[in-house]
Chain A
């Protein structure tokens, strides 16, 4: 059984500091929903507000349509997986997993049966008698998931649960988490600063910056149709070209940049004269010249061979280089250092956004 989570103009302040600023969201039951943002942007604060450890300074949290005001964390249909897991070190694996059932008064025999089932679910059969300290990082991770699932929450809240694992394990756990979610069918709210995790696992993503939700959409949309310069620069690699809109025709706008007038999609309906940033992703560039308002040329600074692709860095107008990712499909001559190289892109792959704050490099 799952339940949706609604944030209704939720604001959380610590003294003068606003950690979450007027967040409004509607997370559907059974959805895998991620909050993505850099460290310190207020993700944990949102999660703690949903789980009941923090009260919103303004606004309401509703779970399954029910207002959670005044309901403590031990009474909410949520279960939280902590960033450091917070397993109980003095209890065995089985006791950890069934702790929530124990406080609900379930008998020992029933609990042990339940522990067996959950250990099977997390692929640790027969390991119930071990101490937590005897487990590996990945196994602890799974025990934490089982402990949270044991109380049959309607919403599972996960706070960067994979951040302590090494890369290989992290990638493996992504698939596993997604599989578990599909199996139990409850709402997952997942927090991460790793865009790869958010993009691969989630049905929808909320991108956050400094306590403000920038965009809520599915992964593909967030990547292809960013709403703000922050989203464009935080999710994936991107090349910004700042300037002024010189003409806007229908779906496209031309921006006067230090590299000449360049064209891109005008999703935000900017008008001539507006300050704007055109974003073109490294993989959208092709070597060589194309249409005059989608071609630029600059000096080659360096290139980095990466096997399946080569990154070429061209001198940009700002301190940041222009990155061009050249896929390996033969015939390309990678420009050498010092050589002036022309590059072009499909105008549909450029995005013109109103000027705004970008993610820190």
Chain B
């Protein structure tokens, strides 16, 4: 049997696990009056529930990814040869990220794009945090209710506009003959138009803007629950404003900050539209490479391998950051 099909054994294993869980539930309850799962629901309904949950968790959550994992460990073959003698497990797709499959030289293009993607995502996350923290603090602690509502509305309404329109309107603003350059030329601040797009300004702005809400809401939620008296107590004890933030607000909001930063970083690193529309001509975003492998080169195994490299790197990076800032993963999803 082909190794690809091994994946399909997993559903049965999962169903079996659910079955055992349902059976052992009664024993774990330590309560003699507690009815077991099947006593409560009846055999037919009980089995149906188990099947449905298993179906949902498998076919919609686990299996697609698992299938891609398996795929990434196979060579690229024409459909005819799939499952044939050449279809064996291999690491060549992962290796191709580091060394060109053609001549074995270092794959600087892809590794460069990878580093650029991670770096840019970190910068975008930091930039987003710098914008969102003061805003979230204002909304959560300082602003009056009416003003906060207004800001909230101003933040949300732009997201009704679809992503492509948003990206292209930014492009119009930033283009060589765009509004900003016209203004700069008109004011005599610059001699010739600045190519913001080639400088990746568009990329940074577009990515930051795209995930603004993802950053602001966790921050807002975290800061909002902070007792105002704590801020005032710090102030009363003589702390200038920045020490109040350093010692009281930020430590308190740390889980929210971690959660916002994690999400923005993950989403930015995996984003496709903004880099494609707003990146400069020589900008190579890692997900665009993955996209091209899937839809241009029809090289699913290599695309899958690249996608998992990105995923693993992002997870490792986030874990490292959480460890560094002493936040547990559980706190970030509170």
The interface residues of chain A lying within 8 Å CB-to-CB of B238 are 74-75, 100, 103-104, 151
Distance of B146 from chain A, by nearest CB (Å): 14
- Is B64 among interface residues, defined by CB-CB distance under 8 A? no
Of the 9-residue stretches B36-44, B83-91, B212-220, B227-235, which lies at the interface with chain A?
Answer: B227-235
- Contact, CB under 8 Å: B233 / A80: yes
Partner of A73, one of B227, B235, B252: B235
Interface size class of A (residues with CB under 8 A): 20 to 34
Please state if B248 and A73 are interface contacts (CB–CB under 8 Å). no
A103–B237 contact, CB under 8 A? yes
Which interface residue of B235, B238, B239, B251 has the most chain A CB atoms within 10 A? B238
Q: Of A53, A83, A84, A147, which is within 8 A of B237 by CB?
A: A147
Instruction: Report the bound CA distance from A75 to B229 in whole Å.
Output: 17
* A86 & B229 in contact (Cβ 8 Å cutoff): yes
Instruction: Tell me whether B34 is interfacial, beta carbon within 8 Å.
Output: no
Q: Is the CB of A88 within 8 A of B248?
A: yes
> Which chain A residues numbered 72 to 90 have a C-beta less than 8 Å away from chain B?
72-75, 78-80, 82-84, 86-90
How many Cβ-Cβ contacts under 8 Å join chain A to chain B?
61
For the complex, give the distance between the alpha carbons of A72 and B237 in Å: 11
Known: A74-B238, A74-B240. A84 touches B229 (CB 8 A): yes
Q: Considering the chains assembled together, what is the distance between the CA atoms of A238 and B247 in angstroms?
A: 51
Q: Which positions 250-301 of chain B face chain A at CB distance < 8 Å?
A: 251-252
Kindly report which residue of chain B lies nearest to residue A79, judged by CB atoms: B236
Q: Which residue in A51, A84, A90, A102 is a CB contact (below 8 Å) of B236? A: A51
* Contact residues of B between 1 and 29, Cβ < 8 Å to A: none
Known: A99-B247, A103-B243. A86 touches B237 (CB 8 A): no
* Cβ-closest chain B residue relative to A103: B239
Q: Which of chain A's residues have a CB closer than 8 A to the CB of B240?
A: 74, 103
Given known pairs A99-B247, A103-B240, the reply for A73 and B232 (CB within 8 Å) is yes
Q: Look across to chain A and name the residue whose beta carbon is closest to the beta carbon of B247.
A: A99
Q: Name A74's contact: one of B229, B239, B251 (CB within 8 Å).
A: B239
Cα separation A73 to B227 with both chains bound (whole Å): 18
Query: With the chains together, A86 CA to B248 CA distance in Å?
Result: 11
Q: Are A80 and B236 in contact (CB under 8 A)?
A: yes
Closest chain-B Cβ to A237's Cβ sits at a distance in Å of 35
Q: How far is the CA of A231 from the CA of B239 in the complex (A)?
A: 40
C-alpha gap A79/B227 in the complex (Å)? 18
Check A82–B233 contact: CB distance below 8 A.
yes
Q: Which residues of B contact A51 (CB under 8 A)?
A: 236
Per the bound structure, the CA–CA distance linking A34 and B240 in Å amounts to 30
Inter-chain contacts of A79 with B (CB < 8 A): 236-237
- Contact status B233-A86, CB under 8 Å: yes
Complex contacts, B230 vs chain A, CB 8 Å:
86, 88
Q: Check B227–A53 contact: CB distance below 8 A.
A: no
Whole-angstrom CA separation of A82 from B235 in the bound complex: 12
Q: From residue A80, how far is it (CB to closest CB) to chain B in Å?
A: 5
Partner of B227, one of A72, A84, A151: A84
Given known contacts A86-B229, A86-B230, A99-B247, A74 and B252 CB-to-CB distance under 8 angstroms: no
* Interface pair A82/B237, CB less than 8 Å apart: no
Of all chain B residues, the one with the shortest Cβ separation from A53 is B232
| Nearest CB of A to B173, in Å | 41
- State which of B229, B237, B252 has its C-beta within 8 Å of the C-beta of A99: B237
**Chain B residues within an 8 Å CB radius of A84:** 227, 229
Q: Which residue of A lies closest to B228 (CB)?
A: A86
- In the complex, the chain B residue whose C-beta lies closest to that of A52 is B236
Sample 27 A-B pairs with CB under 8 A, ordered by A number.
A53-B236, A72-B235, A73-B232, A74-B236, A74-B238, A74-B239, A75-B238, A82-B232, A84-B227, A84-B229, A86-B230, A86-B233, A87-B233, A88-B230, A88-B247, A90-B252, A99-B234, A99-B237, A99-B239, A99-B247, A100-B238, A103-B234, A103-B239, A103-B243, A103-B247, A147-B237, A151-B238
Instruction: Write the residues of chain A forming the contact surface with B, with a CB cutoff of 8 angstroms.
Output: 51, 53, 72-75, 78-80, 82-84, 86-90, 99-100, 102-104, 147-148, 151
* A-B contact sample (18 more), CB < 8 A, given A53-B236, A88-B230, A89-B252: A51-B236, A74-B239, A74-B240, A79-B237, A80-B236, A83-B229, A86-B230, A86-B232, A86-B233, A88-B233, A99-B247, A100-B237, A100-B238, A103-B234, A103-B237, A103-B240, A147-B237, A151-B238
